[in-house]
Amino acid sequence: MSQPTLQATLQGLTTTKAPFIEKARANGEIYIRQPYELYSEENHRTWQQLFARMRDRWRRYANDRYLMGLDRLFTARDHDHVPRLEDVNRFMQSLTGFRARPVSGYVPSYIFFDCLRRREFPTTVTIRDGQTLEYLPEPDIFHDIAGHVPMHTDRAFASALVRFGECARTAAQLASAISDDGERLRRLTSNIRAMSRFFWFTVEFGLMRAQSQAAASNGAGNDALKVYGSGLLSSYGEIAHAIDAPEVQRYPFQIEWVVNQVFEIDHYQPLLFIVDSFDHLYQLVDELEDWIRRGKLDNVAPGEPLVKEADLRSFLDAEATPAAPDSSAAE
């Protein structure tokens, strides 16, 4: 392997400022390697700071399964450095087989969901600028590894992620059978919007009823609720806001509401939904697929999130390419 130049090392792998990533994107590469040698000292320091200040918040607000996953993943590991994805993946192999797969940035939605179906989690390798530790709209490696991966140690949760991938495949198959081009695009747009909303209000910003007495008496302001959404688990400010702020609306998860609910990504979420358990989450994703099959997601409310041309294209192309091997036998 060639040695990084001094300039590349000084620039590091900072979000929006990494030439390595810019080059990969310019070449149209979605999947990349984690160029570990390019992390700067400041990048490692940022990871250390992010991790250290979240620890108390995780103990107070996160659900039990996340905490167990976190302890297993990071116990006896060095918290002071950005993790190597190969180490994370070796650890995950015997648990649920979920792998962190490095990507250059935005992944079109079908490709993203299809990765989940194969137990691969598209993972950003850059880390936020140390000057702005709070939530940022772009994912970074702290969000993807510290926010998501501990959840992937739970079998029911991991199965629910795989089920999301199967939902996307079902939507692509149904769309391919529609002969009218305009109608095919219209229904796909609606299906993708619905799946994105469902994913957002569960995997990214979901709340869950506390599973145990111990968790319920952990000292949180609202003892009955715990966080399992990774957008919350990687945000120092919002994890507390989601549980404690009186102005946040928190309601039991209702699929007909969630798939029609717009969301914005540039401020704390004013509305959150609560599931009972990870088995409940799995059942809900099952129901999502049933709704796709029955055409109940073909006319969801317009509005955010916007469905990009690349998202639509990824679904349209899905049927033209052979299905990737199913790795669900990993459990």
Binding site for Fe ion (CB under 5 A): 230
H/E/C letters for each residue in the chain? CCCCCHHHHHHCCECCCCHHHHHHHHCCCCECCCCHHHCCHHHHHHHHHHHHHHHHHHHHHECHHHHHHHHHHHCCCCCCCCCCHHHHHHHHHCCCCCEEEEECCCCCHHHHHHHHHCCEEEEECCECCCCCCCCCCCCCHHHHHHHHHHHHHCHHHHHHHHHHHHHHHHHHHHHHCCCCHHHHHHHHHHHHHHHHHHHHHHHHCCEEECCCHHHHCCCCCCCCEEECCHHHHCCHHHHHHHHHCCCCEEEECCHHHHCCCCCCCCCCCCEEEEECCHHHHHHHHHHHHHHHHCCCCCCCCCCCCCCCHHHHHHHHHHCCCCCCCCCHHHC
User: Which residue number is nearest to Fe ion in terms of Cβ?
Assistant: 230
Tell me the closest approach of the beta carbon of residue 196 to Fe ion, in angstroms. 12
Tell me the closest approach of the beta carbon of residue 234 to Fe ion, in angstroms. 8
Tell me the closest approach of the beta carbon of residue 148 to Fe ion, in angstroms. 6
CB-based contact 198:258 (threshold 8 Å): yes
Tell me the closest approach of the beta carbon of residue 267 to Fe ion, in angstroms. 17
Nearer to Fe ion, 267 or 294 (CB): 267
281-to-150, 213, 285 alpha-carbon distances in Å: 17, 21, 6
Nearer to Fe ion, 8 or 265 (CB): 265
As a whole number of angstroms, the distance between CA 46 and CA 14 comes to: 10
Tell me the closest approach of the beta carbon of residue 229 to Fe ion, in angstroms. 9
Interior angle at CA 304, CA 299 and CA 310, nearest 5: 85
Tell me the closest approach of the beta carbon of residue 154 to Fe ion, in angstroms. 16
Tell me the closest approach of the beta carbon of residue 204 to Fe ion, in angstroms. 5
Tell me the closest approach of the beta carbon of residue 199 to Fe ion, in angstroms. 9
Nearer to Fe ion, 153 or 230 (CB): 230
Nearer to Fe ion, 148 or 184 (CB): 148
